[in-house]
């Protein structure tokens, strides 16, 4: 029934060693991205969305360490791959777009050269043909007068243009999976929509799967087929988009939906989520990292969280989830 996934993350745990102790940034994170599908990773700031992406890309900070898990890209486990194997897929099969397009580009290299570097590196273009090809890439991401823009530096371009360049760099080698980490933060609303459309169109054109990272649940709802909700380094809920909005099961997801401006009748109704993320350095973190903020906490919450069934259509990591109202798809009730 389910097609072979483009990426399957299984039981990923990441720790950062810091002076003030180990930060357990991710614990047992699992999700799948089907070929050509767009999956959104949603959660408030600090929930571990970027760390998940960096771990998969193999670009974690030196202080960060993957302590458990697999990330299967086809037959290759990205987390156990040799540097050579990684070099083969990074940028070529799996690429990434970052938040803050202005700082994500090399400030002292013309943007055309930066695209050409990637083209040359992945060997599909000769050194001589690369500059012209880079101009073509700029045209493809909708930059007007691309031949002249190719010689410009990032500081000479607007944020939206820089993000277009980032997209051109990421898509240079036509990857099968794109991770877009808050690609529109820092851009104005109109540009945001244009950039998102551009990513969607190009993804469709290349048949590319996309992991779309955002803290904006409403935006995730518009742009993705499936939503993975993260909280404090855990995946708390994972469901098809329509299902998630119609029938959120995790109390945190429910709060997030209530806090989304779209669904609130007025700004006054905008519920702020009580409490804040727990300190991930604590030795006594409860099994459910939401339990200290949770209005539905019960005694059972002290036991280890339920594990994700590999093919669950709607997964929720909770011992006392909200009731399933309408059964849209087979639901794995963890309780």
Nearer to Mg ion, 50 or 247 (CB): 50
Report if residue 50 touches Mg ion, rule: CB under 5 A: yes
Report the DSSP pairing between strands 21-34 and 234-240.
unpaired
- Residues of span 125-154 touching another protein by CB under 8 A: 145, 148-153
Which helix (H) or strand (E) segment is 246 a member of? helix 241-246
Contact characters 20-59, another protein, x per CB under 8 A: ----------------------------------x--x-x
Pick the piece of the chain touching ligand ATP (CB under 6 A) from 57-65, 120-128, 302-310, 321-329: 57-65
The string of DSSP letters for 1-61 reads -PPPEEEEEEEEEEEEEETTEEEEEEEEEEEEEETT-EEEEE-STTSSHHHHHHHHHT---
The string of DSSP letters for 170-238 reads HHTT--SEEEEESTTTTS-HHHHHHHHHHHHHHHHHHT-EEEEEES-HHHHHHH-SEEEEEETTEEEEE
- What is the CB neighbour count within 10 angstroms for residue 53? 20
Contact characters 196-235, ligand ATP, x per CB under 6 A: -------------------x--------------------
- Contact pick of 11, 36, 46, 287 for ligand ATP (by CB under 6 A): 46
- What is the CB neighbour count within 10 angstroms for residue 127? 9
Nearer to Mg ion, 18 or 333 (CB): 18
- Name, in order, each residue with C-beta under 8 angstroms of 189's C-beta and a sequence gap of 6 or more: none
Binding site for Mg ion (CB under 5 A): 50
Binding site for ligand ATP (CB under 6 A): 16, 18, 23, 25, 43, 45-51, 61, 63-64, 215, 280
Binding site for another protein (CB under 8 A): 54, 57, 59, 61-62, 87, 89-92, 95-96, 98, 100, 102-110, 117-118, 121-122, 145, 148-153, 155-159, 161, 166, 169-170, 172-173
């Amino acid at each position: 029934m389910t097609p072979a996934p483009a990426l399957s993350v299984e039981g990923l745990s990441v720790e950062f060693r810091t002076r003030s102790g180990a930060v357990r940034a991710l614990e047992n994170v699992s999700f799948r991205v089907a070929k050509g599908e767009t999956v959104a990773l949603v959660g408030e700031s600090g929930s571990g969305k970027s760390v998940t992406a960096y771990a998969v890309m193999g670009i974690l900070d030196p202080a960060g360490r993957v302590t458990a898990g697999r990330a299967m890209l086809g037959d290759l486990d990205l987390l156990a791959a040799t540097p050579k194997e990684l070099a083969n897929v990074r940028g070529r099969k799996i690429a990434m777009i970052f938040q803050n397009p202005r700082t994500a580009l090399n400030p002292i290299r013309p943007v055309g050269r930066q695209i050409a570097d990637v083209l040359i590196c992945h060997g599909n273009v000769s050194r001589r043909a690369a500059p012209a090809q880079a101009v073509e890439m700029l045209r493809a991401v909708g930059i007007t007068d691309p031949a002249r823009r190719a010689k410009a530096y990032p500081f000479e371009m607007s944020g939206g243009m820089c993000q277009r360049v980032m997209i051109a760099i990421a898509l240079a080698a036509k990857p099968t999976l794109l991770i877009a980490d808050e690609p529109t933060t820092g851009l104005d609303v109109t540009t945001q929509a244009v950039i998102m459309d551009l990513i969607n169109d190009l993804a469709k054109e290349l048949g590319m799967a996309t992991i779309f990272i955002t803290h904006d649940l409403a935006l995730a709802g518009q742009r993705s087929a499936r939503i993975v909700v993260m909280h404090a380094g855990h995946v708390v809920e994972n469901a098809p988009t329509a299902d998630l909005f119609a029938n959120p099961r995790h109390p945190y997801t429910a709060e997030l939906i209530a806090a989304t401006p779209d669904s609130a009748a007025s700004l006054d109704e905008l519920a702020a989520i009580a409490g804040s993320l727990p300190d991930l350095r604590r030795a006594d973190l409860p099994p459910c990292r939401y339990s200290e903020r949770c209005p539905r906490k019960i005694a059972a919450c002290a036991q280890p969280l339920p594990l994700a069934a590999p093919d669950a259509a709607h997964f929720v990591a909770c011992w006392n989830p909200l009731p399933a109202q309408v059964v849209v798809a087979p639901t794995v009730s963890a309780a």
